Every structure is written in C-alpha cells, then in structure tokens.
A and B are shown apart, each in its own frame.
Chain A
Amino acid sequence: MSHGLALHRDLEAFVRRDDTGRGRLELLVRGARCAGCISKIEKAVRALPGVEAARLNLTTGKLAVELAGKTADPGQVLETVEDLGYRACLFDPAEADAAQDREGKELAVALGVAGFGAGNVMMFTVPAWAGLFGQELTPATLTVMYWMAAIVATPCALFAGRPFFRSAWASLKRGKANMDVPISIGVILTLIVSFSETLLGGKHAYFDAAVTLLFLLLIGRYLDHRLRAGARSAARDLLALQTPVAMRLLDGAEQGIPVAEIRVGDLLAVAPGERIPVDGLVEEGASELDNALITGETALVPVAAGARLHAGALNLSGRLVMKATARTEDSTLAAIARLMEAGAQARSTYVRLADKAAALYVPIVHTAAALTFVGGWALGLGPREALLRAAAVLIVTCPCALGLAVPAVQIAASSRLFRKGVLVKSGAALERLAEVDHVVFDKTGVLTEGRPALIDAPAHLVAIAAPLARASRHPLARALAAEAGAGPVAQDCVETAGQGVEGVIDGRRARLGRASFVGVKEAGVRETELWFGFEGDVKIRFAFEDLPRRDAGDTIGKLVALGLSVEILSGDVEGPVREVARAVGVAAWRSGLTPVEKAAIVDELKARGRKVLMVGDGLNDAAALAKAHASMAPGAAVDAAQNAADLVFTGEGLGAVIESLETARDARRRALENFGFSALYNVVATPAAMFGLVNPFVAALAMSGSSIVVLLNAARPSVGRFRR
C-alpha cells in the first residue's frame, strides 16, 4: 500500500521513545509462518543501521523493533520487510498499548492460584473424608486436617475469587443480581461456616469445595475472556492493515502520522489506491473517487481542486493533496457515530443467556437455603445444624456448571467459526445471532463483489483494447485487462487522472477512457463505462457492472429455507438495486437510502418485534449495523462498519452468513442443554442437601461431576453436521 514511497517518508510518529531516546516500533507482518520466515525477517531488520533488536512474534504476527537512536528510519524497516515478500504495516502506538491484555493476565494468575489451592487442599481433605465414613481418623486429627486445609484454601479462595467479588459488587450496586452474586455469597458463606465448624470440632468443613468451585469457574471465565480478547485483537489487526498511515505535508516533505493525529488545516497527500483519511477539500490534483463504502453508490465520482472529500472514499487514479477540514472524530462520521452510540447502548441492555438463567436461579436457590435454615430450626434441628444444611444447599447449588455452560459452548463455536474465517467479537453476539428472524443486506460490496466486472463484450473487441487497459491502474481498465488475460502492453502510455490512458498499439495511437477523452460526444453517458478507439476510427463502448457474488443467490435461498425473511436496503440508485434484487431472488428491496434512513428502518423493524440481522460494509451501514439485533460485516468493510459489527467475515463468499447462523443456533441449543442438565442436577442435589445427606465428599464429587458433563457436552462434535 505504501510500498516504494516509504523510504522518503518520515514515520517518526509511530516510534515510542523512552527518556534515553531509545525507540520501539511495532509492525504487523502478514504471511510469516515458519522458522525460515522468522530468521529471514529478523536478520534483515537487524542488519539495518540503528536497529538494535528485532523479534517477530509468530502467534500475533507482530514484529517488535528496538531502535538505538534517531539514526534508524522506520520507513526503511517497513520497506525491508515488504521487500522480503511479506505484507507489513505500522501499528499505531496507542493501539499497541490497548492490545496489552491486562485482564487476561489477571485471570491467568487467579486461575493459577486457584489451581494451586484446589490441588493442595486435597492433601488434607481426602484423608479427612476417611474420617467421615468412620475409618480410623480420630476427631482431633480431623480437626488438624481441616485447619491445614483452611490455611491453604482461605487465602487462595479470597485471592482467586476477586474477579467474582468485584463483578458481584458492581452488579448489586446497580440493583441487579448476576451469576456472580450467588457465587460470591456461596464462597464466602462456605468459608465462614467451615471455619466455625472447624472451631467447634464439627465433621463438615467445605474448604476444598470453596476453592475447587472457584478453580472450575475461573476456567470458564478465562475461556470467555480468551474468546473476546482473541477476536478483538484479530479485528484490530484487520483494521491496522486497512487504515493506512496518513501523510502530512510539512514544507514539502511527507510525514507519516496515525490518522487519529490529523488536525484541522493539515495538508495531506493521498496516493492512488489509498482512502481519504478525514473530510477535506482538494488543494491540488485530479482523480476519481470510489464512494461505494460511504454511500453505496457504484458510480465513480471525478474530483478536482476545490472539490469536497468525505472520509473513507477510495482515491482511484491520481495523487491528491487535500486540506483537512475536520478532525477524525468529527468527520462525516460524527452523525453516524452518534447513531452508532445509541445503537450500542440499546444493545448493552441485552440480557445474556447466563444472566437470564441467574435471574431465575438466584431467588430460587436463596429461598431454598433460607427455608432450609428456618424450617430446619423450627423442626428442631438446632441453629448450628440448620445453618450447616443451609450452607450445604448453597454449596451444592453453586452455579459451577452454569458458569461453564455458556462460555464452554461459545468458545467451541467461535473457534469453529474462526477456522472458517469468521471473527466473533463476543459471546453475546453469538447469542443474539441465534435469535435472528429477519436479514437485511446492503447491496454494494455485500451482495455484490463491490468491484466492476465487464459485461457482454465480444472477446475480439476486448483483445484489441487490452494492451492499453494493461497499462492503467484504473479499476475499470483493470477489469477489462482481467477479462483479456495476459498479453502485450501498449507503448508510450500516458495516463491522465480522471480521464483515461493514451498509448500506441501496433504503431497506431489509441485512447481508452471516458467518452469525452476518447472523443465521443454523447448525452447521458454512464460512469460505469469505458470507451476505446484508435485515432480517427470507430469508438467501442465497454460497459461494466458490479455483479452479484457467486453464492449470493444460494445464500438467500438457504436463509429463506431456514425460515428467515430477507430484505435489501441500499444507498445506490434504483436501477442497479432492482437488477441485483432480481438476480439474487429478493422481493423486498429499497434504494436511495441515506444512513439515517437505513437506521430508522432497522429501528422500525425492531419496534415491530423483529430480530434483525444486518449485513453491511459501508459507512452508510454503520448506524444500522449498531442498531440491529446482530450484525455482520465483511473483512473489506470500512473500519466504522467493522467496529459496529458483531461478526467480521473474511473470504470471498456469503456462505459465512449461513455458517455463522447455524453455528450460533447450534451453540444456543447446546447452552440450553447444559442449563437443562444443571437444573436436573439441582433438582436432585438440593433436596439431598436440605435433608442433610450431603457431606464434603459428596459435595466435591457432585460439583466436579456436573462441570465435567457440561464441558463434555460443549466439546462433543455436532450431530447435525454429520447428517448434512
């Protein structure tokens, strides 16, 4: 993208310097797979002047480069890696900080501590169980064992339980009870009762249960976090590859800066093939813009000095110098961003499956425990025995399996989707996707390829024009050249930005480009056409169209077969939308919509009780994506759309939509199965605890048993997948 020009650009803004002037630079490298790649890249970069160390992380694809002083040139590092044949881009230092996974580290530490506690506490509780069944363990020894267990388990449980305590406290402050409330109460009450039992020389202390419970729950929590963090960093990498460095002009020199640092009034250079970074005005240069991602229009727009530019448009043919009239935060995006925020807020009120279960489960369990205590005391058990039984109820019903039920299923589902090229941003996204009953597609770039393809042209005419087309970088000319295949290139080619290309084919001068450039005077010429002609000869017209993706019709058919209704909402003009709708077999379509109208239609559908899946790629879809019940965006979409979407799919086809829907529905089924199992377990375990049939040994068995069953159910291969 910035290849070839990088050498002469000042990219200092991407280097993080410490006090001594030593710098650190991060690059995202795509395509490195093996030891050979590591060795090639690291060796070449280390050989550069001023580079102290370079290390490639093969897992994340990040190349960390340490710079000794100001002598090193970040652009040269980039150039070196690209010359080796890898795709590379600079990573914004602010993003690099955000990529640090602190929460994951904290959870891993908690998991380690809980694992240590759960393992070591068994040294004392397993012998203690022998005492429960009347074997040769004197009450005094039992008490010693419990004290030792307390010494190991209590600090571990209090430390490892912090993530749960914090979340439970936050939830209580908001006046709600999530799954962490019964977990926290269960753990703390268990510890208190166990201490008092040990002090009083009783037989039932549950130190092992408290810490084992946390260990199992932390596994679920950690899996859930890994899922979200993995998808987030993958999404960030996609965007880093797509958002280029903005080039600021300072006294004639180009200086690369992160897009977020552009200020109003900055002069920016935009090379052909790059996106316009912020709103602005053209200062010099002429080119054509592809607005497909902003408005959904397929027609190309010519621009010259003084023309208004919108952030996100693709600069096609000429180098432009523009003056920024807005910062990134208040570009065209502003209105859309506000709409997106509103959508995101609506979405954050979505109640997750596990929390729905908790809302049902918490009152029942706590009532049962309270009843056990009050009832047991009233029926003559004595307060101590009654409290012990109430604690036993809380321990055996502690939602261990419930805590694992959803994350275990979701991590299995999203890693399956990841292998198929679909990034799932959160577990909640999968839950929402499973509920969808109406699908809204954007046209350009989603149902269609998003790039022009030649239509109805005789092969011999294509072959005549091809030598000139091969010399041009214009997308229409490229489509023409692609149709013709490999062959000779015209000589003495001169390309005029926004007009066309002129050159010599077999000794004859020829032109390829807009009608006026080639010499055709015709009213109502379309933007999606090219004219070709030899000097003083007949002119030939080539028409282009943005064709539907090959599997678009199939995908729509499958969605309908799954019982979903399908609709197209497009910002493009009526003609092309009708064409595409007919080609893919969708009866409901609307054209010429503004971003606000799209969002309003989604809102209206929501108000009628429909659960909408929005699939879109443009800036004009971002608000609708954020408002929809669930949303998907292709990997080529603008960053705003990718940010707003729940799932991002890479790859050519739309099959990912079907795949994701089916996986989400399957995951929901599994999660419900797991809930069913947990309910069954509780129906058996709760009365047993109420009637005093549970001792620490039974509690330990029941708890780990139920968790293992839930995990196995999540991991089993899908039956439906084999049937198909």
Chain B
Amino acid sequence: MNIVLFLAPASIGLGALGLLAFFWTMRSGQYDDPKGDAERILYDHLDDKPPSGAE
C-alpha cells in the first residue's frame, strides 16, 4: 500500500510536467501558424524556429 504514496505524486508530477509543456508551447506561439509550420519543417532553407515576436 505504501507504494501508492510514492506512485501517486510521481504520476501527478508527470501529468503536471505535461501541463507545463502545454503552457510553454502556447506561450512560444507554436499554435499560431499550423499551416506554415507544416511547410517550414520540410525544408532546410526555411526558418523553422518559433517566431521571435511571440508573447
């Protein structure tokens, strides 16, 4: 039973990590241009980093 005391926080922590990652993707503007990103990632000569001006 004691294992639950370890597993429960661990799994919530992993979930929270996912949530933080989601916030980060939002803040860095990764949903701003789905169409453009799909094209940019395929070519070397295109800048495929997130836009610098994203708030």
User: Which residues of chain A have a CB within 8 Å of any CB of chain B?
Assistant: 24, 34-35, 38-39, 42, 53, 55-60, 64, 66, 100, 105, 108-109, 112-113, 116, 119-120, 123-124, 141, 144, 148, 152
Pick from B8, B23, B40: contact of A123, CB under 8 Å? B8
Q: Are B39 and A66 in contact (CB under 8 A)?
A: no
Contact of A53 with B52 at beta-carbon distance under 8 Å, contacts A35-B39, A59-B33, A152-B12 already known: yes
Known contacts A38-B39, A148-B8; A112 and B22 CB within 8 A of each other: yes
Question: Are the C-beta atoms of A120 and B33 separated by less than 8 Å?
Answer: no
Tell me which of A39, A55, A116, A148 contacts B18 (CB under 8 A).
Answer: A116
- Establish whether residues B15 and A119, one from each chain, have CB atoms under 8 Å apart when the complex forms: yes
Using CB atoms, name the residue of chain B closest to A24.
Answer: B53
Q: Which residues of B contact A141 (CB under 8 A)?
A: 1
Which of chain A's residues have a CB closer than 8 A to the CB of B51? Answer: 55, 57, 64
Q: How far is the CB of A480 from chain B (nearest CB, A)?
A: 42
User: Is A38 a contact partner of B32 (Cβ separation < 8 A)?
Assistant: no
Compute how far the CA of A58 lies from the CA of B43 in the bound complex, rounded to whole angstroms. Answer: 15
How many contacting A-B pairs (Cβ < 8 A)? 68
In whole angstroms, what is the CA distance A710 to B40 when docked?
A: 37
Chain B nearest Cβ from A118, distance in angstroms: 11
Main secondary structure of the interface of B (DSSP, over half): helix
15 A-B residue pairs with Cβ-Cβ distance under 8 Å, sorted by A, are A35-B40, A39-B43, A55-B47, A55-B52, A57-B32, A59-B33, A59-B36, A66-B53, A109-B23, A113-B19, A116-B15, A116-B16, A120-B12, A120-B15, A148-B8
Residue of A nearest to B49 (CB): A55
Interface size class of B (residues with CB under 8 A): 20 to 34
Partner of B43, one of A35, A100, A124, A148: A35
User: How many Å from the CB of B28 to the closest CB on chain A?
Assistant: 12
Question: Hey, which chain A residues are within 8 Å of B43, CB to CB?
Answer: 35, 39
A144's closest neighbor in chain B, by CB? Answer: B4
Of B4, B34, B42, the contact of A35 (CB 8 Å cutoff): B42
Closest to B7 in A: A123
Which of B18, B19, B45, B55 has the most A CB atoms < 10 Å from its CB? B19
Q: Which of A57, A66, A119 contacts B36 (CB 8 A)?
A: A57
Contacts of A116 in B (CB 8 A): 15-16, 18-19
A290 to chain B minimum Cβ distance, whole angstroms, is 37
- On whether the beta carbons of A112 and B19 are closer than 8 Å, the reply is yes
Of the candidates B18, B39, B55, the one having the most CB atoms from chain A within 10 angstroms of its own CB is B39
Return B10 CB to nearest CB of chain A, in Å. 11
Q: Across the two chains, which residue of chain B brings its CB closest to A124?
A: B8
B12 and A59 contact, CB distance less than 8 A: no
Using Cβ atoms and an 8 Å threshold, which residues of chain B touch A58?
A: 33, 35-36, 39
Q: Distance (Å) between the CB of B45 and the closest chain A CB?
A: 6
B46 at the interface (CB under 8 A from A): yes
Determine whether the beta carbon of A56 is less than 8 Å from that of B36. yes
Cα distance A66–B52 in the bound complex, in angstroms: 10
How far does the Cβ of B22 sit from chain A's closest Cβ, in whole Å? 5
The 6 closest A-B pairs by CB, nearest first: A58-B36, A35-B39, A58-B35, A57-B33, A116-B19, A120-B15
Closest to A43 in B: B45
In the complex, residue of chain B having the shortest beta-carbon distance to the beta carbon of A152: B12
A52 smallest CB distance to B (angstroms) = 10
By beta carbon, the residue of chain B nearest A54 is: B47
Q: Would you give the shortest CB distance from B27 to chain A, in whole angstroms?
A: 9
Query: B15 touching A64 by the CB < 8 A rule?
Result: no
**Complex CA–CA separation, A116 to B40 (angstroms):** 30
Which residues from chain A contact B31 at a C-beta distance below 8 Å?
108
Task: Write the chain B residue with the least CB distance to A32.
Answer: B36
Which single residue of chain A is at the shortest CB-CB distance from B8? A148
Instruction: Establish whether residues B26 and A60, one from each chain, have CB atoms under 8 Å apart when the complex forms.
Output: no
- Of A35, A123, A141, A144, chain B has the most CB atoms within 10 Å of the CB of A35
Question: Given the complex, which residues of B lie within 8 Å of A35, measured CB to CB?
Answer: 39-40, 42-43, 46
Q: How far is B24's CA from A527's CA once the two chains are assembled, in angstroms?
A: 63
Rounded to whole Å, the gap between the CB of A535 and the closest CB of chain B is 59
Instruction: Name the residue in B16, B26, B35, B43 with the highest tally of chain A Cβ atoms < 10 Å from its Cβ.
Output: B35
